[in-house]
Homo-oligomer: A and B are copies of this chain.
Amino acid sequence: MLENITDKKLKNLNLPQLNTLCEEARQKIISTVFRNGGHLSSNLGTVELSVALHYVFDFPNDKLIFDVGHQCYTHKLLSGRYEKFDSIRKKNGISGFPKREESEYDCYNTGHAGTSVSAALGIAKARDVKGDDFNVIAVIGDGSFNNGLVYEAFNSLRLLNTRILVILNDNGMSIAPTVGSMHEYLEILSENTEHKEKRDKHAKIFERFGFKYDGVYDGNDLPKMIEKLSEIKQRLKTESVILHIISKKGKGYEFCEENPEATHGISVSNANDVSIEYSQILGETLSRLAEKDKRIVAVTAAMTSSLGLSSFFEKFPDRAVDVGICEEHATILCASMATEGLKPYYAVYSTFLQRSYDEIMIDICSQNLPVTLCIDRAGISGSDGETHQGVFDLSFLSSIPNLTIAVPKDAKEFEAMLNFSTSFNVPLAIRYPRECRKIFGRQSEIIAGKWEKLSDGDGKFVIIACGERAITISLAATETLNKSYGINVAVINARFVKPLDIEILKSLNERVIITVEDNMLIGGLGAMIDAYYSADSKIIKNFAYGDKFITHGGINELMNENGVSCEKIIDYILNENR
């Protein structure tokens, strides 16, 4: 039934048929995610909700926004993308997130948390300005509900004088279990399912902001969802509504239901290819250091386990805080704890650190406080696509004064940098990808701002590279050039992108300097070296990403396609050597 479903067909199905549709969607999601990787538990939890939404509302005329987007697979299957579903998260396939470019049923792209209510309000306001008539629905999880953006959006509902439906899909989890007082409050509401009066009294907070609250209902109960959505559809003509539902993350697949955090995202990368993850080094090293150094505290924003810090949190519960999806608050907590002499480590994915740009600038760096940013998933992150690539961090961090930026060449150097960080008393950022594939033979002492020479050359070409991926392809290129062409190219590990190692830069006699990095060109290592040599006649060639968003695909294929590859380096040097 699912293969050929259309809006019209779906609306003519009876309940048993709709249940079958749900079952088919669930099976399709499970089989596809185990093949392609992707977000599993969150998508399994929203099958019934998605079917009910498509049954009751008229998409794409009505507008549906999924917060973050970890729950949009059933919607994709129901909106003409069944056939392409096998290609999800693959290069040139459909995206794992909502994408306007992909379907008119996706009205707003998401990827980072907390944006859906703002976006729904903007779309509803535009509808009013234009005199149009349609419904606008935001589906948001309780994890995203912690984010300050949701409060800002709620605060402006009355001001905007418009109407939207917010479906609060409460499964008690973000990726990790949801934390914070808002979550406790939602639990109180959920516990009072049998006492409508008591619950409604509790629900006053939402009414303050101009929403009518309606809850709590079982989000995996299809007939109930259809009934409630049909009723609310009428109410939306005159008022804004929050529909609070409880859904089961991983619903319908026992292993997921029992392990919702571990099955939130399924990775299908070749395990043999990875010797270790950087997150493991972070967790182990920081735990070891914290035993002796009582100043060390760790802060995360809802990703403790993925960042490798679960054991740190268990060992040092008083010195570890997961604040939920609140990247800005997490950054200020670190800055302020540092004013009192503590040594905070804020671990975060590169792409989510973007939310903290202003706080890194003002709170950490303008006060010159010794906070260490541990930036995971830096560089191309792969299948999640443009909203998750960590290719901007060097660019947005490099122009912030007082910040030192370190990029380890492998997990061992990362450990050394963490050791180094404990006595480094100003702001420090360390950026690294997820996986460490290689430990290099050479390991030398970490000194702030000092680079490491990895190999000597013939004096004509030198490669300056930062980070494991860039150094790996650089060394592979120089090996080929040596073996096949007798050309010897020097390689330098620019393990501090900021400050640049001026002493080394001054001493370089090579006429051609090649920079390699897993980051955008503008604002990155290469651009900083271009600026350093701006008055010089040296030839500088930058291998870095060009000025466009990088969509989803495999890490290696995306690096190749975007011009950062061993082959391109070899070609360039052979060409210049003629």
A interface residue numbers (CB < 8 A to B): 100, 107-109, 111-112, 115, 118-123, 125-130, 132, 146-160, 179-182, 184-185, 204-205, 208-210, 294, 297, 318-319, 321-324, 326, 328-329, 332-337, 339-342, 354-355, 357-359, 361-363, 365-367, 386-387, 392, 395-396, 398-402, 499, 520-524, 526-528, 530-531, 533-535, 537, 539-542, 547-549
Contact = CB atoms under 8 A, between A and B. Distances in A.
Contacts of A157: 181
Contacts of A533: 534
Contacts of A115: 332, 359, 362-363
A96 to B, nearest CB: 15
A335 B122 contact: yes
Given A121-B333, A366-B109, A548-B401, A130 B341 contact: yes
Given A340-B130, A522-B528, A541-B534, A329 B156 contact: yes
A120 to B, nearest CB: 7
Given A130-B341, A148-B328, 9 more contacts: A109-B362, A119-B363, A122-B333, A129-B297, A152-B328, A152-B329, A156-B179, A396-B399, A527-B530
A164 B90 CA distance: 49
A336 B522 contact: no
Nearest to A358: B354
Given A155-B180, A155-B324, A156-B180, A332 B149 contact: yes
A319 B130 CA distance: 10
A576 to B, nearest CB: 10
A159 B184 CA distance: 11
A515 to B, nearest CB: 9
A100 B365 CA distance: 13
A170 B133 CA distance: 39
Contact of A154 (B181, B319, B366, B526): B181
Contacts of A339: 100, 107-108, 122-123, 126
A392 B399 contact: yes
A313 to B, nearest CB: 12
Nearest to A388: B362
A179 B123 CA distance: 21
Nearest to A385: B366
Contacts of A294: 129
Contacts of A127: 340
B180 A398 contact: no
B539 A337 contact: no
Among A152, A387, A541, residue most surrounded by chain B Cβ atoms (within 10 Å) = A152
B159 A148 contact: no
A531 B513 CA distance: 13
B399 A523 contact: yes
Nearest to A332: B118
A210 B180 CA distance: 10
Contacts of A130: 340-342
A336 B123 contact: yes
Contact of A401 (B149, B204, B542, B549): B549
Nearest to A179: B159
Nearest to A107: B339
A182 B159 contact: no
A355 B331 CA distance: 13
